[in-house]
Amino acid sequence: MKKIFACCFILIVICFQNVFAADPPAGGGLLSDLGIDPKTILLQVIGFLVVLAVLWKFVFGKVGGLLEERRTEITTQLDQLKTDREELDRLTAETRQRLGDIETEAQAKIQAAIEQGNTERQQIVAQARQEAEDEIARARAEIQREKDEAISELRGVVAELAIDAASKIISAELTPERHQSIIDASISRLSAE
């Protein structure tokens, strides 16, 4: 950096020596008439070139480097965003696929539960019917037993009445009126019991 400044300074000194060493024209000319001093113009051009060289070296170079770094950083970020977007799209598709699989699995489990419920319901209904049939069969058997007992008891009563009536008939003289009165008495005793 010091070398650049030194070179610029030497160049300026050389230019000033040449400009100031030259004698102005005697008549002046067009530039003198217009009030333009060639030494001033030359000095301004040299100053501009020196400032331009310094700016080019120290400012524009660094700004260009910063711009290049920023461009590289933006490109890297865009590439990263593109990669992230692709990853997001892949994950979204994977998530949708998984949700579809979960929904299918849930539907299968619901269907299996419904089928199991229907099977258990049929088993419960069949068991209830069997228990009802068993209860009806027990009730019928109980009714038949009670009926048989009642018939047996009735036969015993009828047999007693028949024996009683027969013994009365044998001990008494039978006339049609007497026969009818014995039967009526036996029937009324039967209905009283």
CB 189 within 8 A of CB 161: yes
Which residues in the chain show pLDDT less than 70?
A: 1-29, 31, 168-174, 190-193
44-76 confidence digits (pLDDT tens): 888 888 888 888 888 777 887 888 899 999 999
Enumerate the domain spans of the chain: 2-18+40-119, 149-192
Check: pTM over 0.85? Answer yes or no: no
Q: What is the dihedral of CA 83, 84, 85, 86, to 10 degrees?
A: 50
C-alpha span between 86 and 95 (Å, rounded):
14
pLDDT of residue 5: 56
- What pLDDT, on the 0 to 100 scale, is given for residue 174? 60
At residue 153, the pLDDT reads: 82
50 by Cβ neighbours in 10 Å (0-12 / 13-18 / 19+) ranks as: middle
